[in-house]
Structure 1
Amino acid sequence: MLQETTLLTLFLLGFLGGTHCVGMCGGLSSAFVLQLPPHISRIKLILLLNLGRLGSYALIGALMGALSQSTLLLNETRLFQMILFVAANVLLLLMGLYLAGIFAGAAHIERIGKPIWRKLNPHLNRFLPIQSLTGSVVVGALWGWLPCGLVYNAALYALSSASAGQGALYLLAFGVGTLPNLLAMGIFAVQLRGFLQAKAVRLVAGLWVAAWACWQLWTVFQNLYSSSQ
């Protein structure tokens, strides 16, 4: 049951986090499309870009899951996994408040991945403007490593899984949640950006994420209390 709930959580994080994705990744997605040579289909480009991005997310999830899987402490007890799961939901709560425009502090989380992005960015620029379908996949794969607090939140859930396969599945669930917004962003860039970045939309989406995090934390603590009786 915990795995199914986590998959739903990460899907919702990706979907409701669209207000953040459009601001952060929407510009890139639109730029890639605008640079598209006439002989490449826009729909194919957008699909392959996102296929590459989801591949990178799955790799991140697998790496995080394998890291925890190889840790002796996680193999011997579920206590550390539970701690990580709680930490992931606390971060989810903060990200929800950030999406809602209530707490800006969560934005600093994205600084964690900047050293990696500085090394990958020159490789990304080598494939721009995109000249082939293969280049679309490569650009999408590199795009998946763009510093993003939502991805880091999903990665923390993957770390709590203690399984490379499950970790990859968690990040894929998150990635699939981002697809509706980013696919639409590639096609209806101007119209969608205005809607998703409206204050009311950001507030509702962010509060939904925060409320979901609170519900999961309440469920965890309730189960811990019941087991201690």
Structure 2
Amino acid sequence: MIKLYPAASRYSANHGWLQCNFSFSFADYHDPTNMNFGPLRVFNDDFIQPGEGFGTHPHRDMEIVTFALKGQLQHKDNTGGEEVLRPGEVQRMTAGTGILHSEINSSPDEVANTLQLWFLPWEKGLKPSYEQKAYNVEATKNQLLPVVSSRIKSDEITYIHQDLTIFMASLEAGNTITFQQEVGRKIYLFVTEGQLELNGEYTLNNRDAARITDLTELTIRSHAGASFMLMDLP
């Protein structure tokens, strides 16, 4: 089953320094029918003004994955992790038994657009840790590139403490990708730019999402070009 979630259906709020868009219950937005999709607990699409961001705050027992689509985000945490996240890079933070961190748009003039995803880990009480890696953006052209996974082992892939894989892809006009899924697993798809067609009958536009269950083959086509994220979830 393919269930579409248009961008306009998300919870959105403009705080001046932050324009946020929540795909699942988070902060001021609470919907008991929209708490998670498998282990995916949070999917936030944020636009952060220059020099603004989230001051030091705590997390625990969560796997937090962050992408910068535009601009940059400076991360600092109490494990000693300190890096600037830019497009083409991915960051994973294991909150585990407890971690403190901050995220600030360190650019003096460019708005940062970030995607932050929270996943329930496969066990509680993990040791807090932080990892950031660049991925080959060219390798996302017309194919699914795994960038975060525990299922696919590679030094080029960011490890996560959950049975999942996050793929990035960019389809050129007229191209198609077919994803084969194992029986009993889920697919979450999010369009970061452009328009996609799923299995010849569902259309997703910019920032639309699809939650997919009970499907073993997904055909993804773009007539005019598109970029997207696909998650293989338990």
Query: Same fold per TM (> 0.5)?
Result: no
- TM-score, reference length from structure 2: 0.22
Higher relative contact order structure (alpha carbons within 8 Å, sequence separation ≥ 6): 1
